[in-house]
Amino acid sequence: MELNKYIDHTCLKPNALDKDIEKLCNEAIQYRFKSVCVNPGYVKLARNLLKNSEILTCTVIGFPLGATTTKAKVEETLSALKDGADEIDMVINISRAKEHDYKYIENEIRLVRQACKGHTLKVILETCLLTDEEIVATSLASKAAGADFVKTSTGFSVSGANTRVVTLMKQTVGNEMGVKASGGIHSFQEAMAMITAGATRIGASCGVAIMKSLNK
């Protein structure tokens, strides 16, 4: 098993500088991570820094609240892809999920899916704000809309990923979709616990620390 290939090496800080993105990309190349995940404004820079590597460029849409309009999410997706993004991590409208308007959720994901034009789409549920029933329902909506992954968290809310929720999501979507565990994963042990629970991708700003702890 190549743990590095599970990791989306992430820098989504609002005060990130060019040098932070350069460091992120250099680390991704050194450790051969699956992708780097950056805010949309840094997609062009990351893509350019990674152009001679196999590392993918991932970005976030409707981030971190998910409360922008569907039209805005679609346009943001199209802009990110034009700038060179390979993967899209979109935040659902959490308020609509709490209202149990799952038709809205499914329709929004489907429209972003169409905008993705074959690129990988991961759907961020922000599970710490949802009940188990809402997690199941939004996971099923993501699956029905054609998303490639469901993802636990933005890392900007009250808590991040936990193994119980990862298992619930995996049981819901089965093997037809991936599950990305993100938020609060700092070590090899924590990453492996998520993978054992069913995660097929790990989002972490501590990718280097995770890999270094592998040898401890």
pLDDT digits over 2-11, tens only?
999 999 999 9
Q: Catalytic residue numbers?
A: 89, 151, 180
Q: For 120-143, what is each residue's pLDDT tens digit?
A: 999 999 999 999 999 999 999 999
Amino acid identity, residue 102? Answer: Y
What is the reported pTM?
A: 0.97
169 band by pLDDT with thresholds 50, 70 and 90: very high
Q: Which residues make Cβ contacts (< 8 Å) with residue 129, sequence separation at least 6?
A: 94, 98, 157, 158
With beta carbons less than 8 A apart as the criterion, state whether 39 and 60 touch: yes
Q: The domain spanning residue 112 has which CATH number? A: 3.20.20.70
**Residue-range definition of the domain harbouring residue 85:** 3-213
Structural domains in the chain (count): 1
